[in-house]
Amino acid sequence: MKQGISVGQSAVVHVEVTPDMYAQFEGKVIHQAYSTVSMVYHMEWAARQLILPYLEDDEEGIGGGVEVKHMGPACNGQSIEIHAVILSLTHKSVISSVDVKRGKELIGTGKVIQFILPKNVIAKKLENAKM
């Protein structure tokens, strides 16, 4: 990773809830509200914003884990803010805390773990997974 990344750095993603983000299984909408699946996606996206400027050309981030607590709803057209902050760093991992808010209300919280690996290592892991 490039120099400059540090504990405490933050990134924010703003999203407006749309029907494709609703809680659903097999195409059937269960609740017309922001799904946990969408929350996890946005938490990972916000955490990824933290590493993107620091990846070397031969590196990529890969998910290592997500811990999430979905605490409240958001409905169609409502704005949500996803705020990620780096909690800890090693030479090959970044752990971030992530909060999701609808207005001032905290509707989700958790952690995202990302591993930073050489692209060729990731490619080899994917190739081995096909066997």
List per-residue pLDDT tens for the chain, 131 residues long: 999 999 999 999 999 999 999 999 999 999 999 999 999 999 999 999 999 999 999 999 999 999 999 999 999 999 999 999 999 999 899 999 999 999 999 999 999 999 999 999 999 999 999 97
Specify if 1 maps to a domain. no
**What is the span of the domain harbouring residue 46?**
10-130
Q: Give the distance, in angstroms, between the CA of residue 66 and the centroid of all CA atoms in the same chain.
A: 8
DSSP-H helix ranges across 5-131: 36-51, 119-130
Query: Which of 110, 49, 39 is CA-nearest to residue 81?
Result: 39
Tally of domains within the chain: 1
What is the value of pTM for the model shown?
Answer: 0.94
Degrees, nearest 5: CA angle 68-111-78: 55
- Residues 11, 48: Cα–Cα separation, whole Å: 9
CATH code where residue 89 lies: 3.10.129.10
Half-sphere exposure of 35 (CA within 13 A, CB side): 17
